[in-house]
Amino acid sequence: MSKVSIYLNFQGKTEEAFNFYKSVFKTDWAAPIMRMKDAPAQPGMPPISEKDANAVMHVSLPILGGTRIMGTDMLESMGQKLVVGNNVTISLEPDTKEEADRLFKSLSQGGSDMAPMRQEFWGYWGCCLDRFGIRWMFNVPSPQPNNK
């Protein structure tokens, strides 16, 4: 079933911010916090520095009415700089790759492609800035094996 979430970017303060939101909404993580060091090494990418290893790669927290806020730390070592405009993203989780491609193509028209749709280790993913300056992320998670 399709989902919509709000994705928040921080410069090294994701865990602090999400612990605050967790106390406000009195909920718990949707899944354990994923750290940068938890991601598999990507071909052609330098190894993660010790400083960045414990930065938050992904966190998800249910808030109200089935809505989740998700977040990540932007890494200066990877050239990422937090500015107003890239700190909030609407995250869409369509049911199929075809629907993700359709939405990406439509929303990126007249805007700028920030990360074209592609297969990542967690699923099919992409991100764009629409012509009105709104960031959209698309994610079709890979099927997970049953843990029985």
The three state secondary structure string of 101-133 is HHHHHHHHCCCEEEEEEEECCCEEEEEEECCCC
Domains belonging to the chain, first-starting first, are 3-38+51-141 (3.10.180.10)
Nearest to 59 by CA among 97, 5, 119, 100: 5
Q: Which two tokens stand for residue 131?
A: 């012509």
pTM score > 0.85 for this model? Answer: no
Going by pLDDT thresholds of 50, 70 and 90, the confidence category of residue 148 is: very low
Q: What is the pLDDT of residue 134?
A: 81
For the segment 48-54, the average pLDDT, to the nearest whole number, is 90
Section 52-58 average pLDDT: 94
Angle at 120 between CA 115 and CA 125, to 5 degrees: 45
Tell me which long-range contacts 29-34 makes (C-beta under 8 A, separation of at least 24): 29/59, 29/60, 29/61, 30/60, 30/61, 30/62, 30/68, 31/60, 33/58, 33/59, 34/58, 34/59
Across residues 106-135, what is the average pLDDT?
Answer: 89
Q: Please report, as a single letter, which amino acid is at residue 126.
A: G
pLDDT over 90 percentage in the chain: 55
Q: Which residue has the tokens 């012509």?
A: 131
